[in-house]
């Protein structure tokens, strides 16, 4: 089994660490809401990745080949969601964040998890990665135990990486820098999200 799991671990870890909407959202929630909210969001991101991995293993790539319009629809919906998030981020960039000695109010763990799931599912990039690259290192005859182990690896990679990002951006020094530069940082993050959304819609 290790001969299967090690390549899966390595290939997916590289993908999980690549910058994208999930990492940007994790960083912003960590700076605004703190480590607890960002950790819950990271769990949601990991659950969303598990959905894409399971779908790919169960034949998502084949489905997109048979019905390519489904992939186009997914791209449009995902791009729209990311651009909407970017608009909200850009619009609120100049709004002061009066937090005093504490961070902004936390969001509930459930809400943060749902935000993480929707952020991950709105990005078709994981669908393409899992459907084209990921499945190439997963044997077609994988049994239930191997399948479960693969999903655990995906969850672990996504959760641990995004929790690391959350920890980094929840530090007081990082947060203090954000408070001083809130408007440009929010606009840069919003611009990156919008750019990702446009790229998704046009590729």
* pTM greater than 0.95 (yes/no): no
**Residue indicated by tokens 């530069």:** 181
Is residue 53 very low, low, confident or very high in pLDDT (cuts 50, 70, 90)? confident
What value does the mean pLDDT take over residues 132-155? 76
How confident is the model at residue 135, as a pLDDT?
58
Pick 88 or 47 by higher pLDDT: 47
- Distance separating alpha carbons of residues 114 and 31, to the nearest angstrom: 19
Distances (CA, A) of 39 to 9, 48, 99, 126, 151: 21, 14, 20, 20, 19
- On average, the pLDDT of the chain sits at 77
The percentage of residues in the chain with a pLDDT greater than 90, rounded to a whole number, is: 20
**Residue indicated by tokens 């990039």:** 125
Supply 153's token pair: 């690896």
Say if residue 188's pLDDT is above 90: no
pLDDT in tens, 4-24: 788 778 777 767 876 678 888
Supply 176's token pair: 């203090």
What value does the mean pLDDT take over residues 113-124? 88
Interhelix angle 172-180/144-170, rounded to 10 degrees, is: 60
Q: Among the residues of the chain, which ranges form H helices?
A: 2-17, 21-33, 35-57, 60-66, 68-91, 109-121, 124-128, 144-170, 172-180, 182-202
Say if residue 129's pLDDT is above 60: yes
């Amino acid at each position: 089994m290790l001969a299967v799991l090690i390549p899966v671990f390595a290939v997916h870890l590289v993908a999980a660490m690549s910058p994208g909407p999930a990492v940007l959202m994790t960083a912003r929630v960590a700076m605004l809401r703190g480590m607890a909210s960002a950790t819950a969001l990271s769990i949601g991101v990991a659950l969303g990745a598990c959905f894409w991995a399971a779908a790919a293993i169960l034949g998502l790539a084949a489905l997109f080949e048979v019905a390519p319009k489904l992939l186009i629809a997914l791209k449009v919906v995902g791009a729209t969601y990311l651009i909407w998030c970017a608009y909200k981020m850009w619009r609120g960039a100049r709004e002061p964040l009066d937090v005093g000695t504490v961070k902004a109010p936390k969001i509930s763990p459930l809400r943060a998890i749902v935000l993480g799931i929707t952020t991950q599912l709105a990005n078709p990039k994981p669908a393409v990665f899992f459907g084209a690259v990921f499945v190439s290192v997963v044997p077609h005859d994988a049994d239930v135990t191997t399948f479960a182990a693969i999903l655990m690896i995906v969850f672990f990679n996504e959760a641990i990486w995004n929790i690391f990002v959350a920890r980094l951006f929840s530090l007081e020094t990082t947060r203090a820098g954000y408070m001083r530069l809130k408007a440009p940082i929010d606009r840069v993050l919003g611009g990156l999200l919008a750019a990702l959304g446009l790229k998704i819609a046009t590729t």
